[in-house]
Structure 1
Amino acid sequence: MARSPALPSLLYRAACGALLLLALAPCTAASRLVRPPVQDTPAAVGANPAGPNAAALDAVWAAEQEWLQAMRRGDTAALRRLLSSDHVHVGTNGRLRHKSELLLALQRGQVRFLTYDVTSYDIRITGSAAIVSGTYHAQLERLGVREVSQGRYLRVWVRDESGWRLMAHQLTAGTVPRGRP
């Protein structure tokens, strides 16, 4: 009986398929891991059970609160200290502002926050950087016109010798359903 030339090719393809499935198995298992939900109602800073990052998480949360208070008050002196020298801010309209432009707009009253509330947040620490994401709701006055803004935000904090500094802030306006991260 003659050997079929297709048999080695078929065995080769079957072996490659099996190896591919074995290689992808950890990836599909990892993709089924469930992340903890984003916190819907910000809690007061307290003991953090996050292990080795607990102190860093608490420090970032404290810096977030200090930044939030400074934005509400339009406190440019506090913001000057909290923002990194190369800070960038991308507003809901896509406009990019550097630190000096943002501070000048607040100082001149071009933008004034009447309320600014974080409605959910998640903090991730990686080395000397922290990524904070969540949802917000704000009432503001921009060039004399009152507006309501709500949506998602992403802030990147970096740690230097003086503490945590806000390096980047991105806002995306939109409707955020209550109770959904």
Structure 2
Amino acid sequence: MALPSALPSLSSRAARCTAVLLAVALCTGASRLVRPPVQDAPMAHGPNQAGPNAAALDAVWAAEQEWLLSMRRGDTTALRRILSSDHIHVGTNGRLRHKSELLLALQRRQVRFLTYDVTSYDIRITGTAAIVSGTYHTQLERQGVREISQGRYLRVWLRDDGGWRLMAHQLTAGLVPRGRP
């Protein structure tokens, strides 16, 4: 099958790869190549079907769930184990807190989560690092004042001998369009 004449001359390797992918798509009748969607509405699920990364994806998702539960409960003992020793947290107000500062704020109930829900997520693993991004919705009490926050988050997990440890967490509050994770 000849490639469409509208394609420019293909001299680079990237251009040749693009042409091959386009040819495969045209030959198989596919109108477009599709990236798997971001997982919406997180819930308990069975074994991940992601091939060789399946076990790692499941382990990161389990660590995420343990972290969420610990944050909801204000369980600083569990968080001490989950957070890496050099953990940094950037809140919605841009404030940077290190592990000890975050744990102290939770322990003193300066920040208390009434709800903390992940509304969508995407996990990407490379070597011993995992990047988890998605959207969240939370109700919290900060210095005795109730707040509602929703937006996007980014967490970086590192795997060590003890399992996955949360190294960095950043929140960006804002309007999250419905149906657009």
TM above 0.5, one fold? Answer: yes
Alignment gaps of 5+ in structure 2:
1-7, 22-31
Counterpart-to-counterpart distance in 2, 1:95 and 1:27: 44
Q: How does 1:1-181 map to 2 (within 5 A)?
A: 22-23=11-12, 25=15, 34-181=34-181
- CA shift, 1:25, in A, is 2.2
After superposition, the C-alpha distances for 1:137-170 in whole angstroms (9 at most, x for unaligned) are 0000000000000000000000000000000001
Q: For the Cα contact (< 8 Å) 1:45–1:58, is it kept in 2?
A: no
Question: What's the % identity of the aligned pairs?
Answer: 84
After superposition, the C-alpha distances for 1:94-148 in whole angstroms (9 at most, x for unaligned) are 1100000000000000000000000000001100011000000000000000000
Counterpart-to-counterpart distance in 1, 2:53 and 2:67: 21
TM-score (norm 2): 0.84
Aligned residue pairs total 162
* SS of aligned partner of 1:22: coil
- CA shift, 1:40, in A, is 1.4
* SS of aligned partner of 1:169: strand
TM-score (norm 1): 0.84
* SS of aligned partner of 1:43: coil
Counterpart-to-counterpart distance in 2, 1:46 and 1:52: 16
Q: For the Cα contact (< 8 Å) 1:151–1:176, is it kept in 2?
A: yes
After superposition, the C-alpha distances for 1:64-96 in whole angstroms (9 at most, x for unaligned) are 000000000000000000000000000011110
Counterpart-to-counterpart distance in 1, 2:45 and 2:75: 22
* SS of aligned partner of 2:43: coil
Alignment gaps of 5+ in structure 1:
1-17
Quick check: which one's helix share is greater? 1
After superposition, the C-alpha distances for 1:47-76 in whole angstroms (9 at most, x for unaligned) are 111001100000000000000000000000
* SS of aligned partner of 2:40: coil
Counterpart-to-counterpart distance in 1, 2:123 and 2:51: 14
Q: Which has the larger radius of gyration?
A: 1
> Where do 4+ consecutive residues of structure 1 move more than 2 Å?
21-30, 32-35
